[in-house]
Amino acid sequence: MFKPLLFISLIFIVCGFSSVAHSNSLTLESLFSAFKQIKSQQKNFTEEQIDPILDIRIQKSGYLIYQSPENLTLHYLTPIKGSIIFTPNQVKIDFPRRTVILSPDDAPQMALSQTILHLLNGNLKQLSTNFTLQFSPQSNQTWQLNLIPKNATNNYFHPIQIRGVQKQMTEIVMTDRTGESRKISFEKLLPTP
């Protein structure tokens, strides 16, 4: 239960907090420059998880708080209350009747927590070490960023799609190697002081 939840949490965290430079010629570099400017932010989210093997669709919602450079907390409100706290070296999953602390050595997909923090901090060099980044500015000031894993440690996931409009990330779509997919949508909120 915690691995899929952790997977989703890590991905939407990356996308949910960034602002994009408002420009007709948006580049990957300007996107990451905008990421570096975010020091603190809160966003509401909804998440849809689809498991094709079990034919299950689950809706989740909550909010996340990012404090640069090393703290991201996801607070789930429905269908069950709990939280996931991401730091560079561990992830703490705290839900009723169970608390788990994981490190990257505990599970290969935990390496994604460091990837998420690199993205939120605008660390293009570190992110490019483990992922090939494909950035596509599209029409109407929309854009898409695909994170394609370079090595086996990160191959738990298929390419992760991050979409945005103007200065906001709006959606993250990810599929793990079992075929389970998640779509996370963000409510537009302003950075906190």
170 falls within a domain = yes
* Cα 98 to the center of its chain, rounded Å: 23
Q: Which amino acid is at 73?
A: T
Supply 186's token pair.
């963000």
Question: What span, in angstroms and rounded, lies between the C-alpha atoms of 33 and 21?
Answer: 8
Q: What is the helix (H) or strand (E) element at residue 34, kind and residue range?
A: helix 28-37
130 falls within a domain = yes
Question: What span, in angstroms and rounded, lies between the C-alpha atoms of 167 and 18?
Answer: 8
Question: What span, in angstroms and rounded, lies between the C-alpha atoms of 171 and 178?
Answer: 21
Q: Are 111 and 105 within 8 A, CB to CB?
A: no
193 falls within a domain = no
pLDDT value of position 170: 84
List the CATH number of the domain containing 107.
2.50.20.10
The pLDDT tens digits of the residues spanning 6-62 come to: 554 554 444 444 443 344 578 888 888 887 888 888 889 999 999 999 999 999 999
Collapsing DSSP to helix, strand or coil, 11 comes out as helix
Supply 154's token pair.
């990160």
The residue range of the domain holding 21 is 2-186
The pLDDT tens digits of the residues spanning 135-192 come to: 999 888 889 999 888 876 556 777 888 888 876 778 888 888 888 888 888 886 444 4
121 falls within a domain = yes
Q: Specify the number of domains making up the chain.
A: 1
